């Protein structure tokens, strides 16, 4: 009966997954095998928090080792004189069983301590009652196994050398050889078997469904860059117009991976802990988004995902930084869920924050979110002698994609000027498109307007292909991510590098030679006694779309080390904390505590005098945060720091 109930439920769940909209998750078998080995078997993501990680690992590894005892117990329930051939007679295996029974119990006790005593905030909203029941069932399984083995040893019915079972052998002293022990032996083995069968029937119907599907979800997790969004296909001739997908408005419009994601959620709250929106008092909890989606899928109703399953405010709080995805131990892709909800709200419901409307209008009208004339796009380069690529001209080695922010925002424009000066100084053959460059469409896409994004993607790809461009350098991580990871879906395949990658290579090759002297004695004093005399003390802020979404970690740090004294923030690299601009929040009002203020406080706590960035959005957001806080931090792009250091080196050489 238990197996039938389990199989019946599994068939239904598989049907729900298969009914999801198509999404491609093929290939990269080697990477998928590595993920199974490290994330699932090795518990890599969970062990990033050593205490809770070991707790979960003890339970997980324990059940892998104890798996054969299920068969042994079922045989023993039928006949106390029978066991599994070979393995049931091995003392070394019984020793492992005792060791992992103890480890599983340790994990259960640790879990209870964390949940009942420590009560971390990440469990807010989780189904704690069901978790307690699961822990009780696990404890019953291992305790009944130990006691069954103990009674077998007491009765002399053990098929393995008793000395190997150090725990069961010690417990056997509690029992004699009389009829009471014979009865207890039957009680313990049947308690063990029936608990396992009940566990089997209950789990697929519980909120702990992840125990069965997490490994499957990890296998189908994204193996490419994390910043890529799955495109909607508006021009697929094989799909009838009435079946075109415009994001997800109801559960039946979710992709099969999103359905599988929802079944895989462990409710551990690691995504919630990592979320900058949640950390600064916003409504958004990535965990609650996935839990709401799961409830909608399992209800099999036609209610709207927003607001019935997910509050609309949650959808717009997201900055698409990917911290939730990075933290998730079972490879749930929260950002894809949220963007699909946004797509439906924008393109079907015409519902989105009013303050974002001017940005979307300006992108469509003026080809940039600032609303400036395209003719002004290259104004920053007029005095620098930068070549503007004209139709019919031979392509340069690198097309410098300046981006809207560096073209039109006063603070970000300094980055473009610095990059241009450095590339000219190093003798790099480069050019810009000038008025021929348009918004990549990234802000519109992250807002949910896939139509606008695809229109710009197709137009920009046509422009780049017609110009014969093969290599692109971009200083905006959002442009970099879109050009490198999303334009290939529309026929645009280029070698795209971030400006920090190209500049660090030029420094390594000796084509740029910076000074580390900083800005004289004042900078040296601010850097502190541990720094080189006269050098800057620099803390570098990792952009989410550069570090977390695209693994660009080393190059920016090489530049920091080349021009000053690096000081890392508490959260850096892939664990970085967002500046608050992503997900089109550059143009949206922020509720709760400002995310940029939180990041500025962390930067100021390092004692550095300079806050280095490698993203124009981060430049604007963090500079605003510094101005609001009154901290004595200079916010500046690494390209500008390098340009200043190269000029200082020239002055030293000339002096």
For 457-480, the pLDDT digits (tens) are 999 999 999 999 999 999 999 999
Number of residues written out for the chain? 655
Nearest residue to 375 via CA among 433, 434, 420, 415: 434
Torsion-angle region of 492 (φ positive above 0: left; ψ -120 to 50: alpha; else: beta): beta
Q: What is residue 518's predicted lDDT score, i.e. its pLDDT? A: 55
Nearest residue to 416 via CA among 382, 452, 392: 382
| Gap between the Cα atoms of 433 and 375, Å rounded | 11
CA distances from 402 to 152, 360, 438, 476 (A): 76, 20, 10, 8
pLDDT digits (tens, 9 = 90+) for 86-101: 999 999 999 999 999 9
Q: Mark 269-301 as b/e (b = at least 16 C-beta within 10 Å).
A: bbbbbbbbbbbbebbbbbbbbbbbbbbbbbeee
Q: In this structure, what are the phi and psi dihedrals at residue 216, rounded to the nearest 5 degrees?
A: -65, -40
Name the 3-class secondary structure at 538. strand
Count CA atoms closer than 13 A to 82's CA, side-chain side.
8
Q: What is residue 151's predicted lDDT score, i.e. its pLDDT? A: 98
| Gap between the Cα atoms of 70 and 514, Å rounded | 66
**Secondary structure in 3-state letters for 123-188:** HCCCCHHHHHHHHHHHHHHHHHHHHHHHHHHHCCCCCCCHHHCHHHHHHHHHCCCCHHHHHHHHHH
CB atoms inside a 10 Å sphere around CB 442:
30
We find that the CATH architecture of domain 249-351 is: Orthogonal Bundle (1.10)
- Residues with Cβ within 8 Å of residue 563, at least 6 apart in sequence: 514, 515, 516, 518, 536, 538, 641, 642, 644, 645
Q: Which tokens go with 213?
A: 């599907």
pLDDT classification of 517: cutoffs 50, 70, 90: low
CA distances from 312 to 130, 341, 347, 368, 490 (A): 27, 9, 15, 27, 31
- CATH of span 514-654: 3.40.50
Share of the chain above pLDDT 90, in %: 90
249-351 matches 514-654 in fold: no
pLDDT classification of 302: cutoffs 50, 70, 90: confident
Fold of 26-213: Fumarate Reductase Cytochrome B subunit (1.20.950)
pLDDT digits (tens, 9 = 90+) for 263-297: 999 999 999 999 999 999 999 999 999 999 999 99
Q: Mark 46-56 as b/e (b = at least 16 C-beta within 10 Å).
A: beebeebbbbb
Is residue 300's pLDDT more than 60? yes
Is residue 519's pLDDT more than 50? no
Nearest residue to 431 via CA among 455, 403, 402: 402
Is residue 243's pLDDT more than 90? no
Q: What is the mean pLDDT of residues 17-24?
A: 94
Q: Break the chain into its structural domains and give their ranges.
A: 26-213, 249-351, 362-502, 514-654
Is residue 341's pLDDT more than 80? yes
Q: What is residue 523's predicted lDDT score, i.e. its pLDDT? A: 42
């Amino acid at each position: 009966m238990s197996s039938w109930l389990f199989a019946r439920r599994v068939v239904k769940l598989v049907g729900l997954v298969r009914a999801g909209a198509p999404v491609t998750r093929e290939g990269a078998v080697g990477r998928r095998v590595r993920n199974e080995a490290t994330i699932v078997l090795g518990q890599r993501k969970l062990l990033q928090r050593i205490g809770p990680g070991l707790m979960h690992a003890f339970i997980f590894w324990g059940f892998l080792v104890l798996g054969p005892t299920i068969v042994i117990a079922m045989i023993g329930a039928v006949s106390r004189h029978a066991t599994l051939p070979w393995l049931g007679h091995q003392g070394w295996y019984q020793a492992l069983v005792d060791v992992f029974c103890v480890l599983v119990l340790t994990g259960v006790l640790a879990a209870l301590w964390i949940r009942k005593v420590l009560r971390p905030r990440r469990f807010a909203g989780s189904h704690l009652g069901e978790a307690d029941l699961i822990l009780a069932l696990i404890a019953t399984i291992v305790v009944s196994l130990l006691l069954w083995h103990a009674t077998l040893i007491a009765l002399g019915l053990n098929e393995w050398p008793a000395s190997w079972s150090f725990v069961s052998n010690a417990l056997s002293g509690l029992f004699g050889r009389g009829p009471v022990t014979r009865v207890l032996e039957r009680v313990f083995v049947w308690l063990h078997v029936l608990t396992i069968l009940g566990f089997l029937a209950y789990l697929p119907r519980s909120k702990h469904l992840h125990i069965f599907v997490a490994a499957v979800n990890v296998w189908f997790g994204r193996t490419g860059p994390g910043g890529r969004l799955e495109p909607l296909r508006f021009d697929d001739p094989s799909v009838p117009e009435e079946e075109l997908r415009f994001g997800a408005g109801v559960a039946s419009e979710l992709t099969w991976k999103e359905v599988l994601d929802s079944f895989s959620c462990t409710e551990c709250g690691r995504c919630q802990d990592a979320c900058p929106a949640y950390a600064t008092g916003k409504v958004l909890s990535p965990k609650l988004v996935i839990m709401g989606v799961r409830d909608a899928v399992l209800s099999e109703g036609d209610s709207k995902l927003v607001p019935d399953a997910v509050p609309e405010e949650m959808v717009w709080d997201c900055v698409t930084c990917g911290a939730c995805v990075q933290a998730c131990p079972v490879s749930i892709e929260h950002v894809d869920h949220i963007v699909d909800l946004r797509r439906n709200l924008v393109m079907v419901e015409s519902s989105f924050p009013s303050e974002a409307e001017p940005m979307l209008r300006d992108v469509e009208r003026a080809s940039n979110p600032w609303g400036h004339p395209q003719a002004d796009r290259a104004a920053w380069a007029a005095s620098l002698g930068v070549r503007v690529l004209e139709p019919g001209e031979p392509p340069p080695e690198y097309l410098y994609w300046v981006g809207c922010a560096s073209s039109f925002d006063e603070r970000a424009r300094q980055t473009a000027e610095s990059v241009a000066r450095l590339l000219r100084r190093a003798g790099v053959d480069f050019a810009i498109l000038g008025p021929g460059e348009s918004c990549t469409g990234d802000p519109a896409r992250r807002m949910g307007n896939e139509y606008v994004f695809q229109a710009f993607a197709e137009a920009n790809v046509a422009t780049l292909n017609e110009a014969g461009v093969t290599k692109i350098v971009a200083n905006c991580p959002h442009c970099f991510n879109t050009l490198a990871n999303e334009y290939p879906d529309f026929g645009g395949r280029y070698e795209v590098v971030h400006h920090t990658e190209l500049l660090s290579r030029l420094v390594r090759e000796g084509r740029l030679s910076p000074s580390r002297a900083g800005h004289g004695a004042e900078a040296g004093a601010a850097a502190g006694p541990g720094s080189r005399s006269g050098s800057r003390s620099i803390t570098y802020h990792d952009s989410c779309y550069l570090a977390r979404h695209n693994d660009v970690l080393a190059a920016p740090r090489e530049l920091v080390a080349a021009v000053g004294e690096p000081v890392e923030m508490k959260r850096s690299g892939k664990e970085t904390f967002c500046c608050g601009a992503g997900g089109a929040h550059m143009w949206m009002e922020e509720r709760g505590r400002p995310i940029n203020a939180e990041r500025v406080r962390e930067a100021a706590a390092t004692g550095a005098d300079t806050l280095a960035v490698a993203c124009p959005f981060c430049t604007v957001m963090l500079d605003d945060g510094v101005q609001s806080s009154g901290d004595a931090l200079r916010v500046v792009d690494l390209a500008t720091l390098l340009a200043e250091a190269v000029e200082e080196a020239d002055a030293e050489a000339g002096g």
